[in-house]
Amino acid sequence: METANLRNIAIIAHVDHGKTTLVDAMLRQSGTFRSNQQVMERVMDSNDLERERGITILSKNTSVHWQDTKINIVDTPGHADFGGEVERVLKMVNGVLLIVDSYEGPMPQTRFVLKKALELKLVPIVVINKIDRSDARPAEVLDEILELFMELGADDDQLDFPVVYASARQGIAGLEPDQLTDNLAPLFSLILEHIPAPVVDIEAPLQLLVTTLDNDDYVGKIVVGRLIRGTVHQGEQVVLMKREGVIEKNKIGKVYVYEGLKRVEVDEAPAGEIVALTGLTSANIGETVADANEPEALDVIEVDEPTLTMNFMVNNSPFAGREGTYVTSRKIRERLYKEIETNVSLNVEDTDSADVFRVSGRGELHLSILIENMRREGYELQVSKPEVIIKVIDGVKCEPIEYLTCDIAENAMGSIMELLGQRKAEMVNMTNISTTQIRLEFRIPARGLIGFRGDFLTQTRGEGIMSHVFYSYEPYKGDIPGRSRGVLIAFEDGEATGYGLNIAQERGVTFIEPGTQVYEGMIVGENSRDQDIEVNVAKKKHVTNMRSSNSEEALHLESPRLYSLEQALEYIDDDELVEITPKSIRLRKRYLDHSSRVRYAKNKASMSN
């Protein structure tokens, strides 16, 4: 049976190509909000970090009504590190809106999400967005999109995709770039015409694939997924078919469907609908909710494996426990294992030490978002340098390779090529995207990208755009040079002074300001040479009858280089850690006292010989 008045679509795109803004416009124009209702921009980005960074991290469900048809919409992340979110939500829909920037064209994540959609045989509609840009090049971008479809092995039906041109910010669209209406009606019409309605059997035994998990303070765990067949009722007895083959009896509590941005409670929901269910407290992503009398499991969701790993540790610095609420290994362990219930791309393992946990994810951003969320929740911890996950495939040592795209000015090409050459990158394509801008595409070992973003922004004066996505595992490419400069290490505990920092900045660049509390072994700057040196940033100028202590005010201190969490993770070396608390991000040596650092360096040197 076809549910003619229902459509399920996902919105997919590269980061910052306008997915969430388009959903905003669709919600407004479909009458979801009252005409006088005040609604913030990017209303779908509900997480604080999403709003601050302007990126979508978690997939979101909403719905609109257009011409008596309900359209369930899933807004997906655009960053490669959150590909696990994209992969599983595509299981809930029959079609996708592929949004592409009218100037940038297809980017690495465009390739990733489109590949997943085509593999699932989903029906695509292409939206060339930001058509109001002065540098828009819609004809060339459409050609690039067609080439991408062909490269990814789209079938004849998928290659015959409809195209709509839009400005999500203005809420306008049209079937030609120079013939835009004053609303999104052309887009809505294409959805109703081209996206197939779910074909389902509402009389068959119940079957639902758990795609997303949510949590509510009042009703507890909420299971989200599309009903594949049957009808679900409040209070119904069902079974939960676990990954390990275990069948567990359960009872559904409440049943919700999505209306606009709200979950609305209903007595029952038919197959084809995207629903949210309570009462299934032990459910995990990828498992099947099935009829109690005729249980039948669906295929488990397979998600690409993590490529990057790092150690999360209990903070043992001299400042441990000063700023955090949750500081013990038990609390950190509980939080990490709670995370993997909903974050399917993440792996957590215990280690030989009760204070150390090995956490693996899809990239630095994936892991840093977790860390940032933890510190905002009151956790205090320290983490090691990220490392790529090496595999042995058919007896050959292999490493993850990323597909990197760099949009840069022509005059920066030489320096970027030199940087990437040192990092074992292989250029696969170069195109001119304007008279002054070029696009370089590379395949590069994932470990070659650790610490690259800072150098990239320096060489492009902050104007370059880089993005990358996992490509494949390939044979190990050989050694890549590490950080070329040493660090300035605090000599003793105390409070940094202007006098001490003035002396330290003669040796390199400082990372802290006067008044910062420091401890022995804390990293306070970068040396201009390749070795680490100790400095006394807490040193005070002696007061004599010739000079008063006020003369310190005349010192000229350079602005310190302050690191964000991601920058700190990229910067540290193998023998260094990042200490993270709700109030501070500190760089430190793994071994704080001088003698332990010397022993570590000797052992490392003897092992390498």
19 is in an annotated binding site: yes
Domain identity same for 117 and 262: no
pLDDT tens column, 164-195: 999 988 989 899 988 888 899 999 999 999 99
| Strand 274-278 versus strand 255-259 pairing type | antiparallel
The last residue of a domain, from among 291, 322, 340: 291
Residue 379 included in any domain:
no
- Mean pLDDT, rounded, for 515-528: 94
Query: Residue 400 belongs to a domain with what CATH number?
Result: 3.30.70.240
Lowest mean pLDDT among 188-192, 219-223, 423-427, 604-608: 604-608
**Per-residue pLDDT at 554 exceeds 70:** no
Give the C-alpha separation, 34 to 38, whole Å.
Answer: 9
242 is in an annotated binding site: no
Domain identity same for 143 and 272: no
Report residue 187 as tokens.
Answer: 């887009």
Domain identity same for 189 and 216: no
Domain identity same for 429 and 497: no
pLDDT tens column, 313-339: 999 999 999 999 999 999 999 999 988
Burial label for 453, CB within 10 Å (0-12, 13-18, 19+), is middle
129 is in an annotated binding site: yes
Q: Scanning the structure block, which residue is given the tokens 């006067």?
A: 514
Tell me which DSSP letter residue 217 carries: T
**Per-residue pLDDT at 91 exceeds 60:** yes
Query: Residue 585 belongs to a domain with what CATH number?
Result: 2.40.50.250
Residue 533 included in any domain:
yes
Task: Domain of residue 592: give its range.
Answer: 487-608
Q: What is the pLDDT of residue 92?
A: 84
Q: What is the pLDDT of residue 223?
A: 86
Q: What is the pLDDT of residue 139?
A: 93
Query: Residue 251 belongs to a domain with what CATH number?
Result: 2.40.30.10
The last residue of a domain, from among 230, 262, 291: 291
Q: What is the pLDDT of residue 13?
A: 83
Angle between helices 138-151 and 108-119 (to 10 degrees): 50
Residue 172 included in any domain:
yes
Residue 526 included in any domain:
yes
363 is in an annotated binding site: no
Domain identity same for 111 and 190: yes
Residue 92 included in any domain:
yes
Q: What is the pLDDT of residue 47?
A: 44
Q: Provide, rounded to the nearest whole percent, the portion of the chain with pLDDT above 70.
A: 89
Query: Residue 50 belongs to a domain with what CATH number?
Result: 3.40.50.300
581 is in an annotated binding site: no
Q: What is the pLDDT of residue 16?
A: 73
The helix/strand/coil state of 607 is helix
Q: What is the pLDDT of residue 23?
A: 84
- Mean pLDDT, rounded, for 69-76: 84
Structural domain count of the chain: 4
Domain identity same for 189 and 211: no
Which pairs with CB-CB distance under 8 Å and at least 24 residues apart come from 334-338? 335/374, 335/377, 335/379, 336/312
pLDDT tens column, 33-55: 544 444 444 344 344 543 444 44
pLDDT tens column, 100-109: 999 888 887 7
Q: What is the pLDDT of residue 220?
A: 77
Domain identity same for 123 and 169: yes
Domain identity same for 469 and 500: no
602 is in an annotated binding site: no
Pick 41 or 143 by higher pLDDT: 143
Domain identity same for 219 and 149: no
The last residue of a domain, from among 450, 475, 500: 475
Quote the pTM value. Answer: 0.72
Q: Kindly give, in sequence order, each residue whose CB lies less than 8 Å from that of residue 602, ignoring residues fewer than 6 positions away.
A: none
Domain identity same for 164 and 212: no
250 is in an annotated binding site: no
Domain identity same for 267 and 189: no
The helix/strand/coil state of 382 is strand
Pick 261 or 115 by higher pLDDT: 115
pLDDT tens column, 397-440: 999 998 888 889 888 899 999 999 989 999 999 988 777 889 89
Report residue 294 as tokens.
Answer: 């005729």
131 is in an annotated binding site: yes
Residue 176 included in any domain:
yes
Domain identity same for 53 and 180: yes
Residue 296 included in any domain:
no
Residue 456 included in any domain:
yes
